[in-house]
Amino acid sequence: MKVGFLRQFSSQWPLAVAAAFCVYSLVLLINAFQSQAQLRTEADMRIVADSKRRAAAVADLIAERRNGTVDLAEAHEVANYFINKALGMSLRYGLNANLYAIEERFRNQLARANLRGERIYNRVVLYDEARRVLVDLAPDKGEFALPVDAGIKPAVLFDPDLRRIVVSAPVMFKGAFSGIVATVGELGQLSRDLIPSDATGSYMEVLVSATGRELPAYGTPARISENLVQALAELPANQPTPTGNLPGGNSFVDTGLAVRSQIPGSDLSLVTLLAEETVYGQVTSRLFLYSASVIPLIMLVAAFMFERVRRVEMALARSEQRFRTIFNNIRDAIIILHMDDGAVLEANPRMLSMFGYGSSEVAGLTPADISENLSPYDPPAWSARMTAAAGGEPQFFPWRARRKNGEAFWVEISMLRASIDGRERLLAVAHDITQRKSQEQELLAALEYQRQLNTRLEDTQNQLLQSEKMASIGQLAAGVAHEINNPVGYVHSNMNTLQSYVGGFLELLEAYGEADATIAEPNAAMERARAKRSKMDMAFLKEDVASLFAETRQGIERVIKIVKDLKDFSHVDNEEKWAREDLHKGLESTLNVIWNELKYKCEIKKEYGDLPLVECLIFQLNQVFMNILVNASHAIENKGTITIRTGTKGDQVWIEIADNGKGIAAENLKRIFDPFFTTKPVGQGTGLGLSVSYSIIKKHHGSIDVESQEGKGTTFRVNLPVTQSAIE
């Protein structure tokens, strides 16, 4: 249990240290906050106290003015005047002296009273009880307003517009109001003791009126903008206020404090503007403390994150190790490629062995270096695959790769886009499929061979079926021919006789007719004969009988021909002798026989090879050639070409007759050798030509093949052994 705890602790010591540091920092920060708050409070109290003290100093100045004015009002010169006035002395004889003494006193006071070289008063006036001017040191400056309470008590009137301070004091003589002494001074004198701006520019005192006017010292321009002064005049009293939100263009505004203190006994205010560092000095700013208070939490989070990262890194290291093992030991080549040009950046050992490169040679290899570079396995095709993979479509394709020694081999490439070490790469895995390809080739060859075997088997089967079918048909045809041949023979023979007989009858009837014409008085028999004759239309009968005989003869001859073909097909007549014949002569004689039918629409091209004499039944082969050539001419609808090629192959010769006619439909191609199958109009073909031809070729132990494509033409190829003896 204890060991487990220690192990867990040791594995998480950064977190523990960070937590301890966090607690320690928080304690320090709380202390700092408290100290800072106390310091700030004390600093605020100090600046407020300073401001109030400075305001009190200004108030003292005002009180000093008031006291000075009271002193003047209580001056013995003034008293003397009123004493003497009370004694009844006239202005001319006595009081003038008093007034001049007062004037001198005032003048002396005016000259003596100054502040930093500036006169405190620029005007002193003595009024009598009716506020008539008795003494005025500056009568040319016009009248001015007195404070409201001027006749009651010492009073002060501030006039920001005219920048003057008017202080009045009542003159009392024997307890009665007797007059007023008023002093007039520059209002800015109150600002004389204020600090316009310290050396650092971080401290400034401004006297402002209740109406929001700055009252700078005499001869000193206003330092701050009117809207700022207005805002300062409206600040709460004795309360440090950040200047950040105040309008105006003063350097203190952005980061300073303003404290407004009412000048006691007046409606003026002293505003102290301080830079924050002037107030709080080295006291850590609250913003800094707020910021610092986040640091422990950040540290804690950082430690947590660090721990997480450390664990992730450990996991990554393990994973890296695992994948490195796989990377190094996998039987496939793994190649990391550059996204842009496909250059090899890194490859695993299997790639090196697969492609025959050393580890120092692999970096920088281009696709062309590792490809066979024969279409379609060339750089453009590789680039297309790269582009597709870079676009997010994983690629899987066979490729002809090339080893360093130039040997090409088959690989199967799996290529995809991957982020490796934070960079986008192409990852290609190459699997050597050379053996599989070889097996595939062998399999394909075997399949081809199998297919050929199947074809041959099928052909054999077909030939067998055809042979059987032909044999059956041959037997049938032989029987039919034999049975038909005799009736047709005597029908043909009798037809000649019958035609001869009918001719005789007709001649007889014509003779009877000529004889009837000579009979003037026919009897009743003759009349009946004439009536029948007239009904029979003898002329037509005579003509039609001739036609009927002709058509009948044609029909019989056609039947005879069919019977003959059937006999030929069934080898009924086997009187022809096998002989070594020149097939080229056979072809030429056949062309001569049917030239009349070919010449109008066919061009004959002859591409004869060297043929040996072939043991055959030449007349039957001629019939085969004739049937094929006639069919070829029929397939050519307008104008075409028939090409006759001959040649030898082994111990066989071949004759190929090709036309560029309309071709044979695929569904008909298998049936063309069937007896009685024809596509010609009724009456034009017997459907036995190719059947007979097939039979003849078979008789020669040859073969006849046909290839046809609709619209392009048909090619018949006849293969014949040179000799029959070996076969037999």
Partner 1 sequence: MNMLFRSFSAVLLACLAIQVAAADLKDIQARGEIRHLGIRYANFVTGEGDGFDVELVQGFARHIGVKYRLVYSDFYSVIRDLLGKDVARKGGEVSLEGNFPVKGDIIATGFTILPWREKILLYSAPTFPSQVLLVARANSKLIPIKGSANLANDIAETKAMIGKRSLLGMERTCIDPANYDLKGRGLDLRSYTKSSNLNEIVPALLNEEAELTLLDVPDVILDLQKWAGRIKILGPISETQNLAAAFPQASPELRDAFNVYLRMIKADGSYDKLVDKYYPGIRQYFPEFFTKKR
Q: Which is nearer to partner 1, 72 or 337 (CB)?
A: 72
CB 51, CB 270: distance < 8 Å: yes
Which residue in 274, 300, 267, 278 sits closest to 24, CA to CA? 300
Q: Which is nearer to partner 1, 87 or 130 (CB)?
A: 87
Site for partner 1 (CB under 8 A): which residue of 25, 51, 98, 348?
98
Residue with tokens 């005499």: 218
* 509 in contact with partner 1 (CB under 8 A): no
* 97 in contact with partner 1 (CB under 8 A): yes
Residue 65 Cβ vs partner 1, minimum distance, rounded to whole Å:
25
Burial of residue 209 (CB within 10 Å: 0-12, 13-18, 19+) is buried
Alpha carbons 366 and 427: distance in angstroms, whole number: 14
CA 203 to chain centre: 62
Residue 104 Cβ vs partner 1, minimum distance, rounded to whole Å:
5
Q: Which is nearer to partner 1, 105 or 425 (CB)?
A: 105
Return the H-helix or E-strand segment holding 514. helix 434-516
CB 718, CB 702: distance < 8 Å: yes
What string marks each residue from 348 to 387 as x (binds partner 1 by CB under 8 A) or -? ----------------------------------------
Site for partner 1 (CB under 8 A): which residue of 33, 100, 218, 619?
100
Residue 121 Cβ vs partner 1, minimum distance, rounded to whole Å:
18
Residue 77 Cβ vs partner 1, minimum distance, rounded to whole Å:
7
Q: Which is nearer to partner 1, 94 or 248 (CB)?
A: 94
The 8-class DSSP code of residue 189 comes to G
Helix 95-112 with 76-86: angle, nearest 10 deg = 170
Q: Which of residues 76-95 bind partner 1 (CB under 8 A)?
A: 76-77, 79-80, 83-84, 87-94
Q: Which is nearer to partner 1, 128 or 361 (CB)?
A: 128
CB 375, CB 397: distance < 8 Å: no
DSSP 631-669: HHHHH-SSSEEEEEEEEEETTEEEEEEEE-SS---HHHH
Which residue in 655, 515, 504 sits closest to 590, CA to CA? 655
Q: Which is nearer to partner 1, 126 or 232 (CB)?
A: 126
Q: Which is nearer to partner 1, 89 or 559 (CB)?
A: 89
- Piece in contact with partner 1 (CB under 8 A), picked from 22-30, 99-107, 348-356, 540-548: 99-107
Residue with tokens 């009904």: 535
Nearest-Å Rg of the Cα atoms of the chain is 70
Q: HSE-up of 407 (CA within 13 Å, CB side)?
A: 9
Residue 183 Cβ vs partner 1, minimum distance, rounded to whole Å:
20
Q: Which of residues 421-460 bind partner 1 (CB under 8 A)?
A: none
Residue 70 Cβ vs partner 1, minimum distance, rounded to whole Å:
20
* 176 in contact with partner 1 (CB under 8 A): no
* 67 in contact with partner 1 (CB under 8 A): no
- Piece in contact with partner 1 (CB under 8 A), picked from 34-42, 98-106, 243-251, 527-535: 98-106
Q: How many helices (H) and strands (E) does the chain have?
A: 16, 23
Residue 128 Cβ vs partner 1, minimum distance, rounded to whole Å:
17
Site for partner 1 (CB under 8 A): which residue of 8, 17, 38, 104?
104
Long-range pairs, 593-596, Cβ under 8 A, ≥24: 593/622, 593/626, 594/626, 594/629, 594/630, 594/633
Residue with tokens 């030509």: 689
- Piece in contact with partner 1 (CB under 8 A), picked from 11-19, 100-108, 184-192, 368-376: 100-108
The two structure tokens encoding residue 653:
């010769």
Residue 76 Cβ vs partner 1, minimum distance, rounded to whole Å:
7
For 317, other C-beta atoms within 10 Å of its C-beta total 11
CB 47, CB 268: distance < 8 Å: no
Residue 247 Cβ vs partner 1, minimum distance, rounded to whole Å:
51
Beta sheet of 703-709, edge-to-edge order: 602-607, 640-649, 652-659, 713-721, 703-709
The two structure tokens encoding residue 306:
């660090």
Residue 151 Cβ vs partner 1, minimum distance, rounded to whole Å:
24
Residue 120 Cβ vs partner 1, minimum distance, rounded to whole Å:
22
CB 217, CB 196: distance < 8 Å: yes
Q: Which is nearer to partner 1, 110 or 208 (CB)?
A: 110
Alpha carbons 119 and 117: distance in angstroms, whole number: 7
* 74 in contact with partner 1 (CB under 8 A): no
Residue 182 Cβ vs partner 1, minimum distance, rounded to whole Å:
21
Inter-CA distances, 71 with 65, 136, 144, 164, 402, Å: 10, 17, 21, 20, 119
Q: Which is nearer to partner 1, 96 or 227 (CB)?
A: 96
Is the alpha carbon torsion for 169, 174, 175, 176 positive or negative? negative
Q: How many residues bind to partner 1 according to rule CB under 8 A?
A: 22
Residue 179 Cβ vs partner 1, minimum distance, rounded to whole Å:
16
Interface with partner 1 (CB under 8 A): 76-77, 79-80, 83-84, 87-94, 96-101, 103-104
